[in-house]
């Protein structure tokens, strides 16, 4: 039994892998991770940009697609959905054995649609219909425009991974969209699933930069503490949302809670422990999606202990301390959302450019 098995069996947290490349599927590497306790998988445009642009594993399929007359954008989606379909098949036994609790694979809509509600809805429907597997999560950014799309997709009975969440306030709005979507859906709710991907390490990266610019002793004492505190308060918001008469009525129809999923959990500052954003956020009804390097580090020397609801008052004091030293956390999270959407859109566009160059070469 690895520490990944212990996370789930002892603490109720599901470890997922935040990476995908075709060579891992064909070589059996992904199967080995699942055997070691990985219970799901997430992807994004940046992951596919690195996988496809940096490997010859996709060349044969790409050439065949070009020969068939497919457009460059169509070839992108064909390459991506092939990997997603293979990963879905590999993780389907986890989905079946857990009665739909885990075993999910996520694929994101075109990030250029992050501020387009109708476009996001159409893209989510198209992806869900094209892949058509019960353990598929379609990823929708949790922007203001995304909220209505999330509620609509849930109301249509689709399972959604809401991504790019940085603030507790937006997390609350996403959970409300999920609950509203469930209420709009007729009949049994047990086949609908959702996670809310709350980003962690990127918060510390930007906050630490601003704290160092402020430079006071009080500000510097907050470095490396804000991201975990922010996530712990997000978990408290989760506990508040999924209790009480409104939720009980949905649970009676088979509804599942929308689990917080800790994303961006690799360290960006080498001065911090490499398992900081895993060890500090362990608790029931949560997911942690980890890059392979962080997964390996946690398997080797992580600490399996319930921490998500330890020191909640201290976490609130850390967040209050940001305001006290003049750091606007709302501005930080708004900036990070903008940067996240832009980074994924850039990766998407860069990969299309790479595919065009490869098409010209061929």
Report, as residue numbers or ranges, the catalytic residues: 139
String of b and e for 239-273 (b: at least 16 CB within 10 Å)?
Answer: eebbeeeebeebeeeebbbbbbbbbbbbbeeeebe
- The burial of 160, by beta-carbon neighbours within 10 Å (0-12 exposed, 13-18 middle, 19 or more buried), is given as buried
Look at residues 114, 270, 296 and name the one whose alpha carbon lies nearest to residue 204: 270
Q: For residues 215 and 66, what is the distance between their CA atoms, to the nearest angstrom? A: 56
Tally of CB atoms within 10 A around 163: 30
108 beta partners: 139
Look at residues 278, 289, 257 and name the one whose alpha carbon lies nearest to residue 174: 257
Instruction: Report the chain's terminal Cα–Cα distance, integer Å.
Output: 47
138 beta partners: 107, 160
Residues 6+ positions from 319 with CB-CB distance below 8 Å: 226, 229, 230, 233, 329
- DSSP per residue, 150-191: HHHHHHTT--EEEEEE--HHHHHHHHHHHHHHHHHS-S--TT
Look at residues 123, 246, 139 and name the one whose alpha carbon lies nearest to residue 196: 139
Q: For residues 334 and 166, what is the distance between their CA atoms, to the nearest angstrom? A: 8
Residue with tokens 């929308």: 258
């Amino acid at each position: 039994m690895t520490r990944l098995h212990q996370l789930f069996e002892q603490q109720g947290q599901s470890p997922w892998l935040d990476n995908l490349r075709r060579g891992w599927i064909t070589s059996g590497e992904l199967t080995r991770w699942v055997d070691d306790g990985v219970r799901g998988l997430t992807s994004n445009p940046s992951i596919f940009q690195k996988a496809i642009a940096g490997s010859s594993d996709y060349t044969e399929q790409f050439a065949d697609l070009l020969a068939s007359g497919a457009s460059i954008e169509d070839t992108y989606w064909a390459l991506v959905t092939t990997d997603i379909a293979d990963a879905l098949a590999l993780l389907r036994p986890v989905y079946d054995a857990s009665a739909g609790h885990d075993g999910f694979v996520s694929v994101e809509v075109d990030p250029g649609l992050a501020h387009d509600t109708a476009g996001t809805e159409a893209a989510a429907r198209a992806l869900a219909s094209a892949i058509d597997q019960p353990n598929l999560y379609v990823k929708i950014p949790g922007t203001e425009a995304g909220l209505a799309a999330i509620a609509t997709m849930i109301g249509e009975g689709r399972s959604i991974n809401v991504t790019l969440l940085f603030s507790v306030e937006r997390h609350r709005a996403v959970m409300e969209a999920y609950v509203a979507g469930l209420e709009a859906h007729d009949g049994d709710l047990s086949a609908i699933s959702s996670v809310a991907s709350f980003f962690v390490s990127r918060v510390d990266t930007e906050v630490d930069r601003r704290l160092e610019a402020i430079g006071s002793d009080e500000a510097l004492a907050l470095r490396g503490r804000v991201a975990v505190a922010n996530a712990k308060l997000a978990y408290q918001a989760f506990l508040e949302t999924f209790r009480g008469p409104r939720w009980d009525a949905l649970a009676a129809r088979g509804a599942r809670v929308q689990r917080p999923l800790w994303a961006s959990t690799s360290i960006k500052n080498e001065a911090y422990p490499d398992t900081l954003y895993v060890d500090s956020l362990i608790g029931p009804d949560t997911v942690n999606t980890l890059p392979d390097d962080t997964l390996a580090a946690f398997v080797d020397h992580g600490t399996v202990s319930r921490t998500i609801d330890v020191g909640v008052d201290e976490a609130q004091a850390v967040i209050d301390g940001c305001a006290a030293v003049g750091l606007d956390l709302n501005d930080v999270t708004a900036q990070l959302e903008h940067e996240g959407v832009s980074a994924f859109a850039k990766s998407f566009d860069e990969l299309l450019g790479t595919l065009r160059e490869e098409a010209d070469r061929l």
